[in-house]
Amino acid sequence: MALPDGGISGEEVPFPEIIELNVGGQVYITRYSTLTSVPDSLLWEMFSRKSVKGLARDTKGRFFVDRDGFLFRYILDFMRDQQLVLPDHFPERGRLQREAEFFNLPELVKLLAPKISKQNSLGEEGCQSDPEDSSPGSETTRNLGSLGGAGAACASLVPSALNGKRSGFITIGYRGSYTLGRDSHTDAKFRRVARIMVCGKTSLAKEVFGETLNESRDPDRPPERYTSRYYLKFTFLEQAFDKLADVGFHMVACNSTGTCAFAHEQTDDKIWTSYTEYVFFRE
């Protein structure tokens, strides 16, 4: 077993030079020296100990960390060269800052914190996560508010569509299956919805579903772009409908298709698969 650079000196290190990590289901392979490159960080504490006992492992023996697996790539990049490099229009600065705090990386936390100007307002870096927040409605409200009491009274009359709420479409889709017996619908057996998919503009989807939105299949999508790869962390259609209704969306269309995928030779039962979409719109 090779002895990594740094870490425990004068005795054998209980970790190999190349380490496999399972972070929230995402597998990373890196060097021991990278994980121990920032003293007093959480990873430094984990891999500077004299024994591997007490460290969680997955079924394949990889060290397991129960955090956001897709944001961990930026944590690992920072530990390699102590620099922060993010994609353009990166929408997850706040969540990445929370991960940096968890891994006890104060320098990364500082780099991710929004800068405050002398006028006590957010600088440009604090607004990079969602450039669409500067909507015409919010600008109108600010201008009216600057006029004093009369302006504030007028600002209260600005419709909700101009108070930061953007119009647009969101489509909810799911695949399902059901079994029909000899007596047709009287013997129908429905299976639960396995996954609810979300299609639409990234910023709208995040506004509506928040933390219940799973972005793992499209993690770096800019807020002004569209996606069809998001899905929800829950499987109740009514819960999705309630969240859409709470922020002003209403259903404008729906459609469904079905095909017979399998027929049982002995019982005559037929298994049908279907795909259903619901289209919601907010003025």
List the chain pLDDT tens, one digit each, 283 residues: 344 444 444 455 678 999 999 999 899 999 999 999 999 999 999 998 888 888 999 999 999 999 998 899 999 999 999 999 888 778 888 899 999 999 999 999 999 988 654 444 444 444 444 444 444 444 544 554 455 555 555 545 544 444 567 889 999 998 877 676 665 554 555 556 778 999 999 888 999 998 888 888 778 778 888 988 888 988 888 999 999 999 999 999 998 887 776 666 666 667 777 888 999 999 8
Which residue, chain included where needed, has tokens 């490159």? 37
Global confidence as pTM: 0.43
* pLDDT for position 131: 42
With residues binned 3-state (H G I as helix, E B as strand, rest as coil), the percentages for the chain, rounded to 5, are 30, 30, 40
* pLDDT for position 12: 58
Question: DSSP string covering 243-261, please?
Answer: HHHHTT-EEEEEEEEEEEE
Which residue, chain included where needed, has tokens 């060269």? 81
Instruction: Please report how many Cα atoms fall inside a 13 Å half-sphere around the Cα of residue 258, on the Cβ side.
Output: 13
Q: CB neighbours of 194 closer than 8 A, spacing ≥ 6? A: 174, 175, 176, 235
Angle at 134 between CA 128 and CA 139, to 5 degrees: 150
With H, G, I as helix, E, B as strand and everything else as coil, classify residue 72: helix
> How far is it, in rounded angstroms, from Cα 53 to Cα 33?
20
* pLDDT for position 120: 47
